Amino acid sequence: MVQDLLPGKKIDHLDHRSLDQVLQLNQLQADRLADRPDIPAVELHLREDGAGYCLHGPLRRHNGRSAALERWIASVGAESPPQGNDTAPRQGCLAKPWANQ
């Protein structure tokens, strides 16, 4: 939601603190649209690539940590409904398996 509303710029380096802040911001948005069936669900591409964006392959190939992150993203997608509130927390979702790589 924030990306759509505010101008941004390319991130050259994403550290752990910034990633944690992004994940916390995302968590704050969970269920915000649950009672708004008039707003269509956004496809998040958690299980497969988007059309030229949200690419899983580069994450799998970059290094062990990014591959672990991609596996986590795909597992969250597998546990999520195909449409609707894909940001709602699932059991074990916030474990950050890539942090130990």
Would the pTM count as exceeding 0.75?
no
Q: What is the residue whose two structure tokens read 């269920």?
A: 31
CA distance 83 to 42: 7
Supply the pLDDT for residue 90: 42
Supply the pLDDT for residue 3: 55
pLDDT band at 94 (very low <50, low <70, confident <90, very high): very low
